[in-house]
Amino acid sequence: MLILGIESSCDESSIALVENGKKIYANEVLSQIRDHAPYWGVVPELASRKHLENLNGVLESAFRKTSMCYSDVDAVGVVYQPGLIGSLLVGLTLAKTFAFQYDIPLVAVNHIEAHLYAPHIEHDIPFPNIGLVVSGGHTLLFDSVSYTQHSILGSTVDDAVGECFDKVARFLGLGYPGGPLIDHEAKKGDPNSFRFPKPRFKKPLSPYQWSYSGLKSSIVHHREKYLTPNAQNTKENLASSFQKSAIDALTEIALQACQDLKRNTLVVSGGVACNSYLRESLKEQNQPTSYFASPSLCTDNAAMVAGLAYWLFQEGKISNLYLDATPKIPIPELIK
């Protein structure tokens, strides 16, 4: 079964063609990073306008990569939540038009569940497992029993970890998006040169909660301390110590959940799953076994959307053309 996947929830316009949830024929991603870089972050109005300009071209380019034509598609999978409302609506409109034109089913996909699915495209991963989704918009921990059934164990109470990387990189004048740049600088620095506060929530509702706004503030508010040049105050040392603090909290909480729930498998996805220190730290552990997607499937892409849509379709989860976009999901209420 060939599924056309559409992703436009934030600043990547992406179209994929995926067969039976696993075989990727095309996964075209047009990033808007250069459009948003002058503003050091995603500008929602600009993002939706760029999707409008780009998405049709990305669709054509995905089909050009294959010998397939539009009528070969059996169903359309589209992200409808969460994300920037204007951006979601552009992808949703394309999805509905395609499904109506070719009279094929429309499958609504949650962007976060699609991230959770991404490592399953390349690996056969056992269930139940603990899933960690870490990106520019989300820091979430799940207990997953199947591709489509997950319960939320915990989340950040304020900033997402990727957002924190981006803001600290801005402070250090490194550029946007900050995650890959901090990752690069950190390799040249000493992770123990500064002791930053742990991004853990002081009064947690669940044992699996993070708080990244304090970590960011402690660096930005003590700027004189860090920006006074001396042998220790280098960008490399700051990046390395920050990265250690931000990432150690992710691994500590994820490993704690695996132990508490007796899970031997950890699945990590989202843009921050590209981080080399996170990957190395988890690979050093004997238990649990950690699974990551390739970097191009960690950041926003439509292959993970088309992949998950296949399993949702198998369960009969098909939408009608009245499907609407939802910008947010009420995460705190979902915590057990």
Q: Which is nearer to ligand KG4, 136 or 154 (CB)?
A: 136
The residue within the footprint of ligand KG4, chosen from 21, 105, 131, 180 (CB under 6 A), is: 180
CA distance 89 to 11: 13
CA 283 to chain centre: 20
CA distance 182 to 34: 18
113 is a site residue for Zn ion (CB under 5 A): no
Q: How far is the CB of 140 from ligand KG4 (least distance, A)?
A: 11
Q: How far is the CB of 330 from ligand KG4 (least distance, A)?
A: 18
CA distance 158 to 266: 24
Q: What 3-state class would DSSP assign to 90?
A: helix
Number of residues engaging ligand KG4 in binding (CB under 6 A): 19
Q: Which is nearer to ligand KG4, 14 or 265 (CB)?
A: 14
CA distance 181 to 82: 26
CA distance 38 to 139: 25
300 is a site residue for ligand KG4 (CB under 6 A): yes
27 is a site residue for ligand KG4 (CB under 6 A): no
CA distance 137 to 159: 8
- Specify the stretch interacting with ligand KG4 by CB under 6 A; choose among 22-30, 73-81, 150-158, 267-275: 267-275
Q: What is the dihedral of CA 135, 139, 140, 146, to 10 degrees?
A: 10
The residue within the footprint of ligand KG4, chosen from 77, 82, 154, 179 (CB under 6 A), is: 179
272 is a site residue for ligand KG4 (CB under 6 A): yes
91 is a site residue for ligand KG4 (CB under 6 A): no
Q: Cβ neighbours of residue 316 under 8 Å, at least 6 residues apart?
A: none
Q: What is the CA radius of gyration of the chain?
A: 20
Q: What is the dihedral of CA 68, 73, 74, 79, to 10 degrees?
A: 140
CA distance 223 to 137: 25
Q: Which is nearer to Zn ion, 78 or 255 (CB)?
A: 78
The residue within the footprint of Zn ion, chosen from 14, 54, 81, 135 (CB under 5 A), is: 135
| CB-CB neighbours of 300 under 10 Å | 28
274 is a site residue for ligand KG4 (CB under 6 A): yes
DSSP bridge partners of 108:
78
- Specify the stretch interacting with ligand KG4 by CB under 6 A; choose among 58-66, 95-103, 177-185, 321-329: 177-185
Q: How far is the CB of 104 from ligand KG4 (least distance, A)?
A: 27
Number of residues engaging Zn ion in binding (CB under 5 A): 2
Site for ligand KG4 in 143-162 (CB under 6 A): 162
The residue within the footprint of Zn ion, chosen from 7, 11, 159, 300 (CB under 5 A), is: 300
Residues that bind ligand KG4 (CB under 6 A): 10, 135-137, 162, 165-166, 177-180, 183, 270-272, 274-275, 299-300
